[in-house]
Structure 1
Amino acid sequence: MDHRRFIALTGILAAAVAIGGPAAASTGPAVGQSSISSATAGAAYSSSHRGGDWGRHDEKFDYYLALGDSLAAGVQPNAQGQSLPTNQGYAMDLAAALRDDNRHLSFVDLGCPGETTTSMLNGGCPFPHSYSDQTDAAASFLAQHKHARVLVTIDIGANNVDGCATASGIDTSCVVAGLQTAATDLPKILGKLKAAAGRHVEFVAMNYYDPFLAAWLSGPAGQAEATASVQLSGQLNGVLSAAYQAFGVKVADVSARFKTTQFTPLVQLTPSLKVPLNVARICQWTWMCAPAPVGPNIHANKAGYEEIADAFEAIVDPR
């Protein structure tokens, strides 16, 4: 997800001060460098690890391959408000949890900030990467590790519609076009990945939380916008879930984890302010309610990424 498309919201959230965490995220390795920087490293892994793929009978996974957009890359804002990859994303948290039972696990992160379903399929992600497109890079890695036990996680689709929310409201025609594109692209992405995967590959995807719920804090007009945004979030998650279900891919319910549809009960956000539960979760687990220049920023903070990782862990048996 690209926070630059949400600049229109920058004036609405000064009342909720830095609830989500420190003033700036600590940056870590560049995207894709947790274990490899691109699919070209797959050849190196195949030569050094192929013989060991079957040698870990007490472990479930040899590799964890993270795919998707900025959430897969662990993006957070720094003190100047720049969105940068960090070592505190959900994929990093999940890899650490998996290593409790899979101590030889190799972690490969190909997530690309700003990725849409179209750029994931055809190339053109705005963040620099050494591969031409993420889908082919992932398929190449899977093909080179046909006999390995691989967990693949996927988050993609939010950037198809994120630009549809503007200062004047939600552009319905933009939403329809974005959802149609996701519905067309995602089966092609999943088809390529499934065709390249060996018998011991487990795919798990996620749906999305709704960062626009933070508009609730700006008053009646913002509350109407927040309510409409939940409908948009539900439409997007419905399209994603239908595609994943068609390909037998389990879905981590991040939307439910963030209580996205729950406007009740009211909970204490600050000593003087009560807000709906779903709004509180966005303020607590993302940077949307942080003061400028760090916020508002749609990305999860450290606590939020941990919650996303927990949603994945709930349906991934590490043993």
Structure 2
Amino acid sequence: MRIRNHRHRRRISVVTGALLVAIAIAIAACTTQSSTSGSATSSPAESSSGDSSQGDSSQGNSASTDPAPTAASSGTSPGTSGTPTRSATVGPDDKYYVSIGDSYAAGYQPSGPDDGGTTSNGFAYQLATRSRSTSTPLQLVNFACSGVTSTALVTTKGCEAGALGPGAPSYAGRTQAAAAIEFLSTQRSRIGLVTVVIGGNDVKDCVTAASPQKCIEGAIPVLRRNLEPLLAAIRTAVGSAVPIVGLTYPDVFLGDALKGTSASITLAERSLLLFKDYLNPALNLLYAAHGATFLDITAATGAYGDVTQRVEVAPYGSIPRPIAQICTLTFYCQYGDIHPRTVGYQLIAESISHVVFK
């Protein structure tokens, strides 16, 4: 399975190239303002922009409005068997929603620059809650483990309690992949949905690598080797009718352009190319090969948006909308943390909901 031919890998697409040039020009224009207002790790309190996707539920509030990480109940409780304890809000005939992946699936959020934990604000928890108002109520069983690569997902046994999502089943002595497949197989008739988000930890260091292209071209085959058999096993376990949804990530590294240095703008440019031309096409092919739906969260969070549209985001002033989206949907501009705010996880949950709850 090839992603791009060698010649294409060395070529920036016209659309991507135009976007990068526009970002560089736009950031240069607001560098002076941002340098006097605060650094790129300050809290970005966004003003009203007329876009309902911006910010948290109360427009104009800063990142501090996000709830602190708490181990809230999600309708499951830890256990050695991997079988959830039924919540009072879940009916006896409800289907299971199985979440597989890394910290995005586990619902991680920072509570400060150097601290944080998994929360029930994650997209999997929000999606399970949303399902209760549909004709397909789902009970979440979340096997995700913060920090895993695709290799760790299929080879590392167990997951530290602090890395599991709230209410997640324990699977000590088994890999996440094995535990999830066992559950899917034994509960085959009651599986309603499977989501998978993995690969971010495989490629994140490529953005800052000496040769990003060489790094990503080495990482993609590893991701493919790990994900191919996992997706095949999931499809075999659940049958052809159960929806499997695969996800990618926001391009948080666009936020580095706010620093206004040539190095930071170069890093933002690299990240856009890695998502658009490498990681996302590879994931799309992998999921499609197993009858799964791929959701491009990079696009959904505005990375390829119109940079001529500007949004007021404190303390940076007027900045291109794609970068503003990163500041308002994730903690990257505030803490340098790659994880979504609650509103960012909400956007992901809504994207899945549009596919599953038609």
Residue number in structure 1 paired with 2:176: 134
> 1:288 aligned to 2:332?
yes
Contact 2:157 2:176 survives alignment (8 Å)? no
* Structure 2 counterpart of 1:71: 104
Q: Work out the CA distance in 1 between the residues paired with 2:158 and 2:223.
A: 15
Residue 192 (1) aligns with residue 236 (2): no
**1:249 equivalent in alignment to 2:249:** no
The reply on whether 1:157 has 2:190 as its aligned counterpart is: no
Alignment CA distance shift 1:198-1:99 (3 Å): same
Which whole-Å CA distance do the structure 2 matches of 1:313 and 1:44 have between them? 24
3-state SS of the aligned residue for 2:64? coil
Counterpart code for 1:144? T
Q: Which amino acid aligns with 1:150?
A: G
Alignment of 1:274-313 (within 5 A): 274-290=318-334, 295-313=335-353
Equivalent in the alignment of 1:223: 265
Shift of 1:313: 1.1
Partner of residue 307, structure 2: 264
Higher deviation after alignment, 154-163 or 104-113: 104-113
Distance 1:52 1:302 in 2: 30
Give, in angstroms, the shift of residue 241 of structure 1.
Answer: 0.6
Structure richer in helix, relative to its length: 2
Distance in 1 (CA, whole Å) between partners of 2:136 and 2:214 is: 48
Q: Is the 8 A contact 1:151 1:202 kept in 2?
A: yes
Question: Hey, what's the Cα distance between the residues in 2 that align with 1:103 and 1:245?
Answer: 24
Q: Which runs of 5+ in 2 are unaligned?
A: 1-37, 47-61, 165-169
User: Residues 171-198 of structure 1: CA distance to partner in whole angstroms, max 9, x if unpaired?
Assistant: 4332222112112211111012112224
Q: Which amino acid aligns with 1:277?
A: R
What letter corresponds to residue 253 of structure 1 in structure 2? D
C-alpha displacement of 1:246: 0.6
* 1: CA distance, partners of 2:85 / 2:313: 52
Residues 124 and 218 of structure 1: CA distance in aligned 2, closer, same or farther (over 3 Å): farther
Paired positions, count: 291
* Structure 1 unaligned spans of 5+: 1-10, 54-60
Q: Name 2:18's counterpart in structure 1.
A: none
For 1:19-168, list aligned pairs within 5 A: 19=46, 21-22=63-64, 25-29=67-71, 34-37=75-78, 40-42=81-83, 53=93, 62-79=95-112, 81-102=114-135, 105-123=138-156, 127-128=160-161, 130-131=170-171, 132-166=174-208
Higher mean alpha-carbon deviation, 199-208 vs 247-256, is at 199-208
Deviates more, 1:251-260 or 1:106-115: 251-260
Deviation at 1:262, TM superposition (A): 2.6
**What residue identity is the alignment partner of 1:189?**
L
RMSD over equivalenced CA pairs, Å = 2.9
Letter in 1 for 2:226: D
Is 259-268 or 223-232 further displaced after alignment?
259-268
Is contact 1:285–1:303 with CA below 8 Å preserved after alignment? yes
